[in-house]
Structure 1
Amino acid sequence: MTTGGEGAGAVLIAGPTASGKSALAVRLAERLGGVVVNADSMQVYAELTILTARPSAADEARVPHRLYGHVPAARAHSVAEWLADVAPVLAELRAAGRPAIVVGGTGLYFEALTRGLAEVPAIPDEIRAHWRARAAAEGAPALHGELARRDPVGAARLEPGDSQRITRALEVIDATGRPLAAWQAGPRPAPLVRPETALRLIVEPERAVLHARIEARLRQMMGEGAIEEAARFAALGLDPALPATRAIGVSALARVAAGEIDAARGLELAIFETRQYAKRQSTWLRGRMGDWTRVDAAFDQSPSLAALERAGRP
C-alpha cells in the first residue's frame, strides 16, 4: 500500500460490535502511517465514552483518531451530517499522503461513503415536530403500523422499535408524497471513496467467539464505570426520540444505577441487547456488503496484507 500523495488510499473496516475491528484499525494505522476515522453512529456522541466502547486514551496516544465524541447527545446526528464531517477529514489526509483507516459498525455510513447519498428534500419543521410528538406519545410500534399502511415495502425493512428511522420515513412521505426508498433510488452524487480504490474489510468472528467477546467487554465496561456513565446520561433528561438515547446498554445500566435492578440483571440485559444488535449488524453486512473481504481480527499479521502492500493497494 502506497502512503504518498494521490496513492494514499483508504482502508474501510466494518463489523459487528465487539468483533475486534477497532483494535485492528489501530494496528493498521500504526503499520501504514494512517489515521483512524470513526464510522460508528454512536461513537460520535460526547457523553457516551465507555458505553459505546470509544477508543481508549492509550489507543489515541498510539495513532491519531478523528470524529469521535464530537457531537452533543442532545443533537440528532444523521448520515448526511457524518458525510459532511468526514469529507474534509478525508481530503486533509489525502493531501498529507496518509491513508484513512475508516472503522465502525454503522453499515449505512459505509454505504453512503462508497455509493454516495441520495438527496432528500428538507423536511418542514412542523412535519418533523408532528411525527416526533406522535412517536413520543404512541411509541415506535404504533408508528410502524402507520408506516406499514402507507409504505409497506419501507416498513418491512425496519424493526418495529426503530423509532428514528420509522419517524424519518413518515416525515418524508408527508413532506414529499413519495416513500424514502423512491428518493434513495434516485441519482446520487459521486462517492467520497470509490470502492475500487479502497481496501474493504469486514471483521466477523464466529458467533460463539463474538458472544464471548461481547460478555467480556461488557464486564470490563462495568468495571470501568459504565453504570455511573449511564446514570449521568439518564440525568440529562434527553428526548427519548434522540438517537443517542438508544445506545446499547444505556437503559439497562441506568436502571441498575437507579436501584431498579441489581448489577447482575443489568449485565444480563445488556448482554442480550448487545447480542441482538450484533445480529442485526451482521445481517446488514451480509445483505448489503457481500462483496467486501471477510477477515479475522489478526488480518494485519496475514500474508494477504503484505501482498497488498507490495502491490501498492489500495
Structure 2
Amino acid sequence: MLEIVVNNDLPFAIFLMGPTATGKTDLAIALQSHFPVELISVDSALVYRGMNIGTAKPEPELLVRVPHRLIDIRDPSEPYSAADFAHDARQAMSEITAEGRIPLLVGGTMLYFKALLDGLADAPQSNPQIRAAIEAEAAIKGWPFVHTQLAEVDPDTAAQLHPNHSQRIQRALEVFQITGRPISELKREQMEKGSALAPITDEYQVIQIALLPHNRAVLHQRIEQRFKAMLEQGFESEVRQLFERGDLHPDLPSMRAVGYRQMWQYLSGTVSYDEMVEQGVVATRQLAKRQLTWLRKWPDLHEIYIDSEAGQLNIFEDILRNCLKLLWYFVKTLLLRLRRMLVLAGWISCLVVR
C-alpha cells in the first residue's frame, strides 16, 4: 500500500478509475452506503442524452436513488471537451463539499482525470462551424494530414499528439483558428498569469483508486460478455434512433464512442452484423488497453484487483471489502493526525496558562 499523506487543510475527494468493464460504477454505488459521498461521472460518453445502452448508463431508477452528476448534460450533436469537464467537475465538487459530502469521481475517461489533476488553460468555447470545417477536411484528406497542418502552427502541441488523435488535433486547430494563437502558447501564458485552472490537488486531498485486472483474459471475457448483453438489450435500436435523426454524423465525438461507431457503420451498410460485433468487441478491448497504458504511468495510485494472479475473478464483496479497507485506512490516518494536533494544542495551551 502506498503511504497516504494527509493534508488537514484540504477537503477530501476520491477518484475511482480503471479500464472499461471492471465494475467501477457498481463499486461507487456500494461505497455510497458506507461513506457520505456523492458521485460525479468521469465518462466522455455518459454526458450525452439518448446514449444509454452502449454506455452502460445506470438505469433511471438507480440515478434517482443514487444521483450521478455530469450524466445526460449534452445532446449528441454537441461537443464536450476535457476543458468543459474540468470546469463542470470543479463546480460539482465545490457544491458537494459545501453540502458536507465527499466528491467521488468515477469513470474511465483518463484524459478527464488528467485535466483535473494537471490543470488546464482557460481555452475559448467551441465553435461548431470551425469544428465542422476541420472534420470535413479530415474526412477527405485524413487526420494525419490535419496533424501536419497543426504542426505548422503549433509544433509543440503537435509533437505531443498521435497523428490519429482526432479530438485533440481538432481542438488545438480550433483554438488556433479562433484566437490566432497556438494553444500551447495560451497555456504557458495563462499558467504564468495564474489564470489557468490549477491542479485539483491544490484544492483537495485526493485519494486515487484503480480497479485493475491481473489477467487481461479476464477483462477481455467481461468485455465480450458486456457487448453481447448490450445487443440483447436493444443497442441496435438505440443507435438506429440516433442514426435516423439526420443531424448526427460519424465524425462527432459522441458517435466516435466505442460501440456507437461500429453500430453506425453497420446501419450505414459499411459492414455486416457479424463484422460489427467483432469490431465492436475488438475496439472495446483496444480502449481498455489504452486505459491500462494510462494507469501504468499514473502517480500515487492505489490498486485494487478484480481477479487473482491466477486469473480467478474475485467476488464483488471481496473487491468492496478491499476498497473499504483502503478508505478506512485513510480515515484512520486522518483521525490520528487530528488527534495528535489536538493533543499538541492542549499542551501548548497548558504552557501558555502556566
TM-score computed with the length of structure 1 as normaliser: 0.84
Letter in 1 for 2:77: A
For 1:254 and 1:189, locate their aligned partners in 2 and report how far apart those are by CA, in whole Å: 36
The answer for the alignment partner of 2:223 in structure 1 is: 214
- Alpha-carbon spacing, 1:145–1:68, altered in 2? closer, same or farther (3 Å): same
Name 1:202's counterpart in structure 2: 210
- Unaligned 5+ segments in structure 2 are 1-8, 307-317, 336-354
Return the structure number with greater relative CO, CA threshold 8 A, min gap 6.
1
Aligned residue identity for 2:237: E
Structure 1 letter corresponding to 2:205: T
Question: Is 1:249 the counterpart of 2:271 in the alignment?
Answer: no
1:306 aligns with 2:323: no
For residues 86-131 of structure 1, the C-alpha deviation after alignment (integer angstroms, 9 at most, x for no partner) is 2332222112211111011122221222332112356778755643
Q: Distance in 2 between matches of 1:204 and 1:66?
A: 24
Partner of 1:63: 66
User: Is the alpha carbon distance of 1:14 and 1:183 closer, same or farther for their aligned partners in structure 2, counting shifts above 3 Å?
Assistant: farther
Q: What is the SS of the residue equivalent to 1:154?
A: helix
Q: Give the Cα–Cα distance (whole angstroms) in 2 for the partners of residues 214 and 123 of structure 1.
A: 33
Same amino acid, percent of matched pairs: 36
Write the distance in 1 (CA, Å) between the matches of 2:134 and 2:224: 36
| Distance in 2 (alpha carbons) for counterparts of 1:253 and 1:128 | 23
Please tell me the residue identity of whatever aligns with 2:284.
T
5+ long unaligned stretches in structure 1: 1-5
CA RMSD after TM alignment: 2.9
Residue equivalent to 1:144 = 147
Query: Is 1:292 aligned to residue 312 of structure 2?
Result: no
Distance 2:186 2:217 in 1: 39
- Contact 1:203/1:294 (<8 A) preserved: yes
The residue number in structure 1 matching 2:197 is 189
Deviation at 1:152, TM superposition (A): 5.0
Instruction: Pick which of 250-259 and 110-119 moved more.
Output: 250-259
Change (3 A) 1:231 1:216: same
Q: How does 1:10-89 map to 2 (within 5 A)?
A: 10-57=13-60, 59-89=62-92
Equivalent pair of 2:49/2:76 in contact (CA under 8 Å): yes
Post-superposition Cα deviations, 1:22-56, rounded to whole Å, max 9, x if no partner, equal 22211112221322111111110002111111123
Contact kept in structure 2, 1:9 and 1:100, CA below 8 Å: yes
Q: Following the alignment from structure 1 to structure 2, what is the Cα–Cα distance between the partners of residues 141 and 236? A: 30
Give SS of 1:146's match.
helix
Contact conserved, 1:28 with 1:101, CA < 8 A, in 2? no
Q: How does 1:232-271 map to 2 (within 5 A)?
A: 232-237=241-246, 238-257=248-267, 261-271=271-281
Q: Which amino acid aligns with 1:277?
A: L
Residue pair 2:13, 2:204 contacting (<8 A) in 1 also = no
Q: Please list the CA deviations of residues 58-92 of structure 1 after superposition, one character each: whole Å capped at 9, or x if unmatched.
A: 54355222211121111111222223322332222
Deviation per residue, 1:182-220 (Å, 9 max, x gap):
433451333445476121112221322221111111111
Whole-angstrom CA distance in 2 between matches of 1:81 and 1:265 = 35
1:33–1:227 Cα change, 3 Å: same
Inter-CA distance 240–253: structure 2 relative to 1 (3 Å threshold)? closer
Indicate if the aligned counterparts of 1:230 and 1:251 stay in contact, CA closer than 8 A. no
Q: What TM-score do you get using the length of structure 2 for normalisation?
A: 0.76
- 1: distance between equivalents of 2:267 and 2:250? 18
Cα pair distance change 1:19/1:156, threshold 3 Å: farther
SS at match of 2:210: strand
- The 8 Å contact of residues 17 and 106 in structure 2, kept in 1 or not, is answered as yes
**Equivalent position amino acid for 1:202 in 2:** A
In 2, Cα distance between equivalents of 1:109 and 1:161: 19
Residue-pair matches, total: 307
CA distance in 2, matches of 1:312, 1:26: 24
